[in-house]
Amino acid sequence: MKAVRTLGRILLPASLVLLAACQTMPGKQTTEAKPEASAETSMQASSQGAPVAVFLADTVNQQGWTPVQIQAGTLYVNPQPVITRDDLVGVQAGTSQEGTGLLALALNNVGQKKITDITTQNPNKRLALVVGRTMLAAPSFTTPVTTDQLVFAVGTEQNATAAARAIAGVDENGNPIAPPADSQQGPGAATPAPGASAPSGN
């Protein structure tokens, strides 16, 4: 699928702002508002891109969940993904006014319903974003997420852009790239470092 790029400025909906602002290490939570994002790159999610999924997670052990070691301790991740590539219609990379890298996953109707249902039924937990074999973010949420996008703070603009390209399955010139032969999607295979460098797709 050919990637489509656009540059511009967007104003993040309030619920996404909160999700992005809550990108913190387990045990900490922030309620500060995140202003509008800038310098955004938009791409279509390609079936040839790196594996991508969003998992329900918590800092408290849950039966059957996979423990993942992170810098602040242990995060417990439900091995059943909430969102997969099939639920995406696009991906965007950009930055906040403070320069924080933001990665936005655009959801189809099915994906939006999944997120709304899971965040309604499981309040005060986390959504762990895994791209390739790297956990990029695990923000907490306190209210149901009802928007058609998930926005994650992933550290730097470089991280956001690299992750968006990996998901879209394109290189920096927009040319399709082959996915890694040993791609494996799952929380246990993820690098336990929210905010770590995004995979290049190699």
DSSP 68-115: EEETTEEEEE-SS-SEEGGGEEEEEEEEETT--EEEEEEE-HHHHHHH
Contact 10, 36 (CB under 8 A): yes
Confidence category of residue 14, pLDDT binned at 50, 70, 90: very low
Q: In this prediction, what percent of the chain has a pLDDT beyond 90?
A: 51
The single-letter DSSP state of residue 44 is: P
Contact 80, 66 (CB under 8 A): no
pLDDT, mean of residues 27-55: 54
Q: Each residue of 55-91: b (16+ CB within 10 Å) or e?
A: bbbbbeeeeebbebebeeeebbbbeebbbebebbebb
pLDDT, mean of residues 143-160: 93
Confidence category of residue 175, pLDDT binned at 50, 70, 90: confident
Query: What are the backbone angles phi and psi of residue 187, rounded to the nearest 5°?
Result: -65, -30
Q: Which of 41-50, 143-152, 167-176 has the lowest mean pLDDT?
A: 41-50
Contact 103, 163 (CB under 8 A): yes
Query: Shortest CA distance to 100 belongs to which of 25, 33, 20?
Result: 20
The per-residue pLDDT of the chain, averaged, comes to 74
Checking if the pLDDT of 178 tops 90, the result is: no
Q: Which domains does the chain have, with CATH numbers?
A: 41-168 (3.30.1360.200)
Q: What is the pLDDT of residue 24?
A: 32
* Amino acid (one-letter) located at 155: G
The pLDDT tens digits of the residues spanning 80-128 come to 999 999 999 999 999 988 889 999 999 999 999 999 999 999 999 999 9
Confidence category of residue 20, pLDDT binned at 50, 70, 90: very low
Residue whose tokens read 């800092």: 59
